[in-house]
Copies of this chain bind each other. A is one copy, B any other.
Amino acid sequence: MAVATQSLEELCINSIRFLAIDAVEKANSGHPGLPMGAAPMSFVLWNRFMRINPKNPGWHNRDRFILSAGHGSMLQYALLYLSGYEGMTIEDLKQFRQWESKTPGHPEDFMTEGVEVTTGPLGQGISNAVGIAAAEAHFAARFNKPDLSIFNHYTYVIASDGDMMEGVASEACSLAGHWGLGKLIVLYDDNKISLDGDTDMSFTEDVGKRFEAYGWHVTAVEDGNTDLEAIAQAIEESKGVTDKPSLIKVRTTIGYGSPNKANSHDSHGAALGADEVKATRDQLGWQYEPFEVPEDALNHWRKAVERGAKLEDEWNQLYGKYKEQYPEEAATLEQMWSKKLPEGWDKCLPTYTPDDKGDATRNHSGKCLNAIAEVVPQLIGGSADLSTSNKTLLKSSGNFQKGSYEHRNLWFGVREHGMAAICNGLATHGGLIPYCATFLTFTDYMRGSMRLSNLARAGVIYVMTHDSIALGEDGPTHQSVEHFASLRAIPEIVVMRPADGNETSGAYKAAVENRRGPTVIGLSRQNLPNLAGSSIEGTQKGAYILSDSEGTPDIILMGTGSETQLCVKAAEELRNQGKKVRVVSMPSWELFNRQDEQYRESVLPKAVKKRISVEAGITFGWHRYVGDEGIAIGIDRFGASAPGNVCLEKFGFTVDNVLAKAKQLLG
């Protein structure tokens, strides 16, 4: 029996293992194998390296820890509990995977203090970490002073085989290598087992060599189960490499300690079962009750509290000096941290009258971004290799690159999914408002991360141009049809589709102020007129009356984005024919739905049943607004390659078609 010889370190490591085993067993659901295998590296990392303060999980310069392999969530909950985070008690651990507990199936940053990002969908955490490390590099380059390195933290990741297989991680890690993010250190839990069995079935590439190809520093620990010094040495070595991110391949045994299920997918995704739990207790010489942590181990772990207090205290003194010597920078920084925007920031947003020359909303967007960058220091972002088309370049800033991290223009390359995941990381780090851009259609590529922006409330601004068939010649592969519908379907999201210059400014006002989640702004490739009655204020309500006739309208025409002008023109014609017509501009369903009943009724009175919507996209979902008797004008098929104006005409986005449909309703 190992009992007598169990060292304090072994006790500490086994504490993680058995908290995970016991919690999964109690829930009869979860993944014990990863925590059991990754316990040693986690112990070494948290015990010897992590600069955190358990009593203040929000300390700005804390090291970040990301469990990219989020299915091993009990590892993270055990670490938080053992390290003395007040938000994580033994009772919380017993509530693993139960309704409204702080210990959900996968780590969720909005449920649990100390969890930096929401992980679980594989590849996301490691990609978020690239964003977090980029944010650290940016803050350090922008704010640190000689001898006053107020930003100086590491971003540590534990990642799994699954993370390594996902394309989003490939994209983000390639970019991390390009950027040379030296403070990003990934421990790859190389256990050669995935849910389906041995990775020999599908994953035999040389991961280390791949990361070297990305420009990473790669090292390995041959025995990650017991060789704690080798783990420590690898982390130390990685910290010494300051111009490259580091990957440490740690060879481990999934389900380590389980006599019959270790090194097998049997320990991956299900409770071990009572018999095997007992056998594991025997094998590891664990004489404690479920959820019992030996006092020695707990005392040792809890030294993190004292260490953390000291670390933050030292930093506070450093920051005190900084504030004294650089009050202006400190003021900027504190404003950025506060999540508040500079007073009156929105005065920078341009406004237009119908006499102003029309323009594409993507151009209006470019002006907004540049104006905002001048007054909102948080703004940072870029495009997935379409900056010229997306109009996303900030003229007042240089390029964020290795050696020039202080700049705010990011170049993501053709890596949409990685871009969105990195932006989630930038948003999560604190102090930044990231934006990213591509054609609207390619939201399909990054939806995995966009969903997490919503779930984890990351305030990313998605600048999505070329938002319909009107993009023209590139054809159906590039033309959005279903994308507004499919994005509106995501819970919590705000989708904006501005009709002109004022509404584009309005969309940015909403997006910049929406710090509880992402905002998607759909923008036209083609020029659009500035409409009478459009406004920043109206846009905040999601839908508003652009023009009206006296009395109860005979018909309501509602449009979004580039098609709103068709409603305006059709209304003029109908009014000439003596009809009472209301035109409603509807840049955002979601903002409109948040208005009170009275406002919604004032814009779309229930009594007016004759309604037409016009949007160059699928009609899916419009029924809610046009009702049983209304007509939705849209395109319920894929687009086609032809000049944009030809596409619009062929697919019925014309004033004549709106008039024809109105006639159909009005008789």
Contacts and interface: CB of A to CB of B under 8 A. Distances in A.
Interface string A207-233: 111101111000000000000000000
Most chain B CB inside 10 Å of its own CB: which residue of A167, A177, A399, A476: A167
Contacts of A445: 121, 166, 168, 447-448
Interface stretch (A98-106, A367-375, A574-582): A98-106
Contacts of A628: 627-628
A385 B210 contact: no
A213 B202 contact: no
A100 B399 CA distance: 42
Interface residues of A, number: 109
Contact of A486 (B123, B418, B486): B486
Contacts of A347: none
A598 interface: no
Contact of A104 (B120, B201, B387, B475): B475
Interface string A157-180: 000011001111111001101100
Given A442-B121, A473-B29, A486-B486, A414 B97 contact: no
Interface in A466-481: 472-478, 481
A100 B166 CA distance: 37
A122 to B, nearest CB: 5
A455 interface: yes
Contacts of A414: 122-123, 161-162, 165-166, 194
Interface in A148-199: 161-162, 165-171, 174-175, 177-178, 194-196, 199
Contacts of A472: 29
A641 B473 contact: no
B641 A194 contact: no
B195 A175 contact: no
A418 to B, nearest CB: 7
A338 interface: no
Interface in A84-119: 97-101, 104-106, 108, 118-119
A483 to B, nearest CB: 8
A236 interface: no
A48 to B, nearest CB: 31
State the oligomeric state as a number of copies: 2
B205 A475 contact: no
Contact of A489 (B118, B389, B452, B620): B620
Nearest to A30: B473
Interface in A619-667: 620-621, 623-624, 627-628, 636-638, 640-643, 646-647, 650
A486 B621 CA distance: 11
B167 A411 contact: no
A104 B213 contact: no
Contact of A171 (B101, B166, B212, B478): B166
Contacts of A448: 442, 444-445
B623 A165 contact: no
A618 to B, nearest CB: 6
Given A97-B642, A194-B413, A486-B489, A213 B203 contact: no
A485 interface: yes
Contacts of A474: 71, 105-106, 120
Nearest to A642: B99
A618 B491 contact: yes
A166 B167 contact: yes
Contact of A385 (B195, B451, B455): B195
A174 B166 contact: no
A412 interface: yes
Given A100-B640, A621-B620, A476 B167 contact: no
A206 interface: yes
B196 A204 contact: no
A178 B204 contact: yes
A196 B383 contact: yes
A123 B203 CA distance: 20
Contacts of A441: 121
Contacts of A642: 97-100
Interface string A528-566: 000000000000000000000000000000000000000
Given A121-B442, A202-B413, 5 more contacts: A106-B474, A167-B169, A206-B215, A455-B476, A488-B620
Identify the 5 closest CB pairs spanning chains A and B, nearest first: A167-B167, A104-B641, A202-B413, A120-B477, A209-B213
18 contacts: A29-B643, A97-B473, A97-B642, A105-B473, A108-B476, A121-B441, A121-B444, A170-B171, A177-B204, A204-B215, A205-B213, A206-B212, A209-B210, A210-B213, A212-B213, A442-B448, A444-B447, A486-B486
